[in-house]
Amino acid sequence: MPTRIKNLEHYQALCKKAIDDPTSFWDEQAKSFHWFEPYTEVLQWEFDTPDVKWFIEGKTNICYNCLDVHLEDHGDDTALIWEPNDPTEAFKKFSYDELHKAVCKTANALKAMDISKGDRVVFYMPMVPELAIGILACARIGAIHSVVFAGFSAQALADRVDDAQAKMIICSDYNERGEKSIPVKAIVDEAMDISCNSVSHVLVHKNTGNPINWSDDVDKWWHEKMDNMPTECPVEIMDSEDPLFILYTSGSTGKPKGVVHTHGGYMVYTAYSFQNVFQYEPGDIYWCTADIGWITGHSYIVYGPLLSRATTIMFEGVPSYPDASRFWNIVEKYKVNQFYTAPTAIRALMACGDEWTEGHDLTSLKVIGSVGEPINEEAWHWYNEKIGCFKAPIVDTWWQTETGGIMISSIPGVTDCKPTYAAYPLPGVQAVLVDPSGEEIREYNSEGLLCISFPWPSMIRTTYGDHERCKQVYFSAFEGKYFTGDGARTDSEGRIRVIGRVDDVINVSGHRIGTAEVENAINAHPRVIESAVVGYPHEIKGQGIYAYLICSGDSELDDTVRNEVIEVVRREIGPIAKPDKIQFVPALPKTRSGKIMRRILRKIAAKEFDQLGDVSTLLNPQIVAVIKENAL
């Protein structure tokens, strides 16, 4: 097992060791995993290219380390608990032995369908056990999984399938979320009609059994393919640097990019961070409420916990169904010890009132976590009081799809927890603040741009099919540093508080949405001449989406256009990217070189009218007053 940080002195010593001798520090973290062949070197790196390799020439397989290594002594321990959307339905439990068998069957079925090492398999599924089983099966045979969040539209799914050149899509018939039943297979059908030419089969898991369209050539039932498959399947021996998965995430420009993670480094770091941040002890019941469609679900529902022989809960539903006490019912039902959720869920539940938490026995909780966006002070205190009962420390964990694992977080019992501060980097993470010129800011009590100046094992290796983009986005802003895209500040003792994105990415309910993507979708409406999208503070979602539109034609049709624009965004990206506010404007504020002044639009959207600054140098300064006057 990776090193367990015991106390503050130990933490400080490990931080020092990781800087002075990173090779031996990470060797220490990696050696307890199963390597079919040992690595010959710990790290080779070069940020400019970027070219980063960890555990060089080591041969391993993350699925083997998640399952097989536990079987001999702990095969009967519970690996996965699945809680269905409908609380009156039976939950499911998988021991490590059962999960291993299910994964092997699935791996054999995939092989029988001609999926092999290096092939890409896209998952478009609800939170059912088959999703976790499916991605582990891919890892087992060396296929590269790419999970697409099942809230994305057919177009967004098709874009990702095409970019990954996936050979197979695995989906369910329907997705049960709260009172909704979402026709997942029908959305896949639509994506297949749009493009997805690389896909030879769609493997369909029967979740509800409700009617779906079927094409005999392409569609195959999951249960039929699993029938009679052997429950043993040899693992593919993977090089440390072989890709494990691609996960698409939004940036400030262009289409979402496929972040690539690897078997070796990702394995070491997710286990190391999981065990330390959550202080997981054998026998604990751990629950992360994220969806496996996002990185949090990959790293901290599936891989980190299973590598650590934990019991991990997977929840199909939503926090508000059948009512706002659902989370706390589940905590009570399974006696959850570590609970990990997002500020948007905390704020939404807080807004429902305290009566939903009252009367629930939450005393099993030892650590409660937050991820995905800054947690505001009010939500932090509510979480601390009502859920943590002033006893379970809050870990505010900062990280990204690209970092693969938690980078900055308090460590319970080791470092303190301060409201709204993610606090300190984990040992081995060299986080620095820089000013816009790239100069490091060493003084505390400062504000700057958050960078990481040394590699860590689970860092992004490339953006799938476009290495240059990886270099441009992350490694070109500041020489010799990985740039996170976030702004941060430090307090007088060096704790870090991540403020939010400094690029054109909006964080809506903890989901990253690129303004360019939303604008492209909006511009597809025939009456839209130009649009500009910015984020604005939103009480529940953290940030909401504010769209400024220049439209042609009659303003009496504005309401129709508004609804149609929302529909276009839903169709092109998905409901998560729908604008919350749409303002029609006669023009957008522009610089003399024709660039939209988003800073001004952001201030107007936030109603910070006194902070517009000097607008006189704009090409069209008079427009600012007009937009301001009609702000929503």
What is the contact surface with ligand PRX in residues (CB under 6 A)? 249, 294-296, 371-374, 396-401, 422, 484-486, 498, 500-501, 507, 512
Exposed, middle or buried, 241 (CB in 10 Å: 0-12/13-18/19+)?
middle
Nearest approach, Cβ of residue 574 and ligand PRX (Å): 15
Nearest approach, Cβ of residue 486 and ligand PRX (Å): 5
Q: Give 38's contacts (C-beta < 8 A, 6+ positions apart).
A: 58
Nearest approach, Cβ of residue 295 and ligand PRX (Å): 5
Nearest approach, Cβ of residue 383 and ligand PRX (Å): 13
Could you list the beta-strand ranges (E) of 224-292.
Answer: 238-239, 243-249, 257-262, 285-288
Which CB, 174 or 248, lies closer to ligand PRX? 248
Q: Residue 216 has which token pair?
A: 């005999």
Which CB, 526 or 575, lies closer to ligand PRX? 575
| Strand pairing category for 144-147 and 120-124 | parallel
Q: Are 572 and 153 in contact (CB under 8 A)?
A: yes
Nearest approach, Cβ of residue 422 and ligand PRX (Å): 5
- How distant is the alpha carbon of residue 93 from its chain centre? 25
Task: Give the type of residue at 192.
Answer: M
Coil, strand or helix at 257: strand
Which CB, 272 or 294, lies closer to ligand PRX? 294
Which CB, 344 or 484, lies closer to ligand PRX? 484
Nearest approach, Cβ of residue 401 and ligand PRX (Å): 3
Q: What is the Cα–Cα distance from 440 to 456, expressed in whole angstroms?
A: 19
Nearest approach, Cβ of residue 94 and ligand PRX (Å): 25
Write down the residue that tokens 């505001």 correspond to: 376
Which CB, 68 or 396, lies closer to ligand PRX? 396
Q: Which residue is nearest to ligand PRX (CB)?
A: 401
Q: What is the Cα–Cα distance from 208 to 203, expressed in whole angstroms?
A: 15
Q: What is the Cα–Cα distance from 565 to 561, expressed in whole angstroms?
A: 6
Nearest approach, Cβ of residue 14 and ligand PRX (Å): 22
Closest by CA to 409, choosing from 459, 375, 446, 447, is 375
Which CB, 448 or 485, lies closer to ligand PRX? 485
Q: What is the Cα–Cα distance from 573 to 186, expressed in whole angstroms?
A: 16
Q: Residue 615 has which token pair?
A: 């607008």
Which CB, 344 or 401, lies closer to ligand PRX? 401
Which CB, 70 or 501, lies closer to ligand PRX? 501
Which CB, 33 or 294, lies closer to ligand PRX? 294
Q: Are 67 and 52 in contact (CB under 8 A)?
A: no
Coil, strand or helix at 247: strand
Coil, strand or helix at 3: coil
Buried b (16+ CB within 10 A) or exposed e, 485-496: bbbbbbeeeebb
Nearest approach, Cβ of residue 434 and ligand PRX (Å): 16
Q: Are 206 and 221 in contact (CB under 8 A)?
A: yes
Q: Are 97 and 75 in contact (CB under 8 A)?
A: yes
Phi first, then psi, for residue 540 (nearest 5°) are -100, -45
Which CB, 27 or 503, lies closer to ligand PRX? 503
Which CB, 428 or 535, lies closer to ligand PRX? 535
Nearest approach, Cβ of residue 393 and ligand PRX (Å): 15
Nearest approach, Cβ of residue 273 and ligand PRX (Å): 11
Coil, strand or helix at 54: strand
Nearest approach, Cβ of residue 159 and ligand PRX (Å): 17
Which CB, 396 or 519, lies closer to ligand PRX? 396
Q: Residue 97 has which token pair?
A: 């032995």
DSSP string, 426-485: PTT--EEEE-TTS-B--SSS-EEEEEE-S--TT----BTT-HHHHIIIIISSSTTSEEEE
